[in-house]
Amino acid sequence: MPSAIPVREDPTYAEAYAAFERDHPGYASAELDAERAADFSRLDRSGDVYLDYTGGGIYAESHVREHAELLTGGVFGNPHSTNPTSLAMTERTESARRAVLAHFGADPGEYVAIFTPNASGALKLVAESYPFAPGGAFLLTYDNHNSVNGIREFAHARGAEVAYAPVRPPDMRIDDVALWRALDAPHGGARRLFAFPAQSNFSGVLHPLAWVDRAKERGWDVLLDAAAFAPTHALDLGTVRPDFVSLSFYKMFGYPTGVGALLARREALGRLRRPWFAGGTIAYASVSEPRHDLHEGAEAFEDGTLNYLALPAVEAGRRRLAQGRQATIDARTMALTGWTLGRLVALRHGNGRPLVQVYGPLDTVARGGTIAFNLQEADGALIDHREVEQRANGARISLRTGCFCNPGAGEAALGISGNELASCFGAHERMTIDTFRSCLSDKGSGAVRVSFGHASTFADAFALVRLLEGFRA
C-alpha cells in the first residue's frame, strides 16, 4: 500500500496538483480556499479526509459560533405562546421560513415552507396525507431513496397502482421511453403522484428537472426529492414548480441536524388530508364533543414543538450559500469529480484489467459530485466493499459503503434481477443483511461511494486515489 505520509508531502503530489489546476480551471476559488483555512482547518489538523458530503455536510466553525452567540445573547421560549420570549422565537422561526423560501426562489403566495425533522419526515407528511385511491397511481423511478420508496406502502394500502420507471446501467440514467409510457398511461380519475430525485444519492446522476412540467401537463402531482441536489445546485421554484420538495439542511450546510423542510405548493397542500392531529397543528380540539380543525398552511403539518432553537442556524446557513456561492461550490466539486473519475478509470492491474468499475456517468455531464464504484480483483471478481471501507478507515478517509438507502439503483448497478431477489427472499422467512449477502455473494451487495462538497480540496481526491492504488495486483 502507499505510504501513510501526509498527502501534501507525497513526492508526486505537487506535480499532480499543478496538472490538475491547469486542466481544471473551475477549481480555483480564493474564497473557498480562505473558508477552508478559517472554518475547516480541523480537518487538516486531524488528518481527516472527508468524502461523504452526500451523507452529510461538514459544519463551518463560524456558523456554529454565530448560532451559539445568538443563543447565549438572547432568551428564547417555545413559540406556541404570546409571551415575550415566545414571540422572540416566533419572529426567528418565521424569519427562517421566509429565508428558506427566498433561497429557492419560491413565491410565498404560491409555496409554504413546512419545517420537519429531516427530508424523510417531509416525505412522510406527503405519504400519509396524499389522496391515494383506486384509479390513482404512484409512479417513481428505480433510482430513489428508501424514504421515497416507502410511500408505496400508503399507495398500496389505499388501492392505488404503483409503478417504477427503470434505470439503465451503466450510466444509471432513467429509461426515458419507459418513463413517458408510464406518464401517459390511462388512469381511473383519482389523483396520481410522480416522485423522483433531482440528483441520485447513489450515482450522482442529475435527473432532468424538465420532467416536472412534462408530468404536470399530463395531470400528475410531482414530488421532487432535492436532498442530494440542494447542497451544490440552485433550485429555482419560480422556474421549476414541483408540488412538493423535500430537503435536509444538514446536507446543505452541515449544521443544524434535526431540521428539514417540505416546500409545498399551496394548491397541492390543500389536497392533502392528515390522518391525525397533534399539538401545534390545530386551531382547536374538543374532547367532550370530538371535533377539531387544523390550522391553515404550514402549521397544520408541524407536529408538536419544532426544533425551534435550531431554526436560526438554518437562516445563517442559507446566507452561507447565498450570492452565487453555490455556483462556485459546484464548479469546484465538479472539477474534483472529473479528475477523480479520470483517475479511477485509468487504474489497472498488472495484467491490464481495470481495478475500478464505476456506476454512473464517466464524465461530468448532467451529474453531481457523487461517485459510486466497486473494486475488482485482477481476475474480475469484486472486492468486498467492506474491505475498502476498512482500509479507508485506517487512512482516516471517510467514505460510505452499502446501497446508500437506494436499493433500486443498487440492484440495477450490480445486475441483480427480480427473479434472483424473489428466490433469495423466498428461501428466508426474515431477511438480514448477512443472509442477503450470502444469497448474492457472486454479485456483491453494495458499492463504495465518495462525494465532494463545499470544503473539499484536491488533496482529498488525491488521498483517495493513492488509497485505491494499493489494491492493484
Residues classed as catalytic:
405
Residues 292/285, Cβ–Cβ less than 8 Å: yes
Map residue 49 onto helix, strand or coil.
strand
Query: Widest CA span of the chain, in angstroms?
Result: 80
Q: Look at the block and give the residue holding cell 492493484.
A: 472
Round to whole Å and give the CA distance between 343 and 21: 15
Round to whole Å and give the CA distance between 350 and 352: 5
Residues 63/39, Cβ–Cβ less than 8 Å: yes
Strands 244-248 and 260-265: antiparallel
Q: Look at the block and give the residue holding cell 409571551.
A: 83
Round to whole Å and give the CA distance between 336 and 395: 20
Sort residue 211 into left (φ over 0), alpha (ψ -120 to 50) or beta.
alpha
Give me the helix-helix angle, 311-320 and 84-103, nearest 10°.
Answer: 30
Task: Write the CA distances from 191 to 160, 220, 268, 272, 431, integer angstroms.
Answer: 9, 7, 11, 11, 34
* Side-chain-facing half-sphere of 7: CA atoms under 13 Å: 23
- B/e letters for 235-264, b = 16+ CB within 10 Å, e = fewer, are bebeebbbbbbbbbbbbbbbbbbebbbbbb
Strands 244-248 and 221-225: parallel
Q: Give 190's contacts (C-beta < 8 A, 6+ positions apart).
A: 131, 132, 133, 134, 135, 136, 137, 160
Residues 339/459, Cβ–Cβ less than 8 Å: no
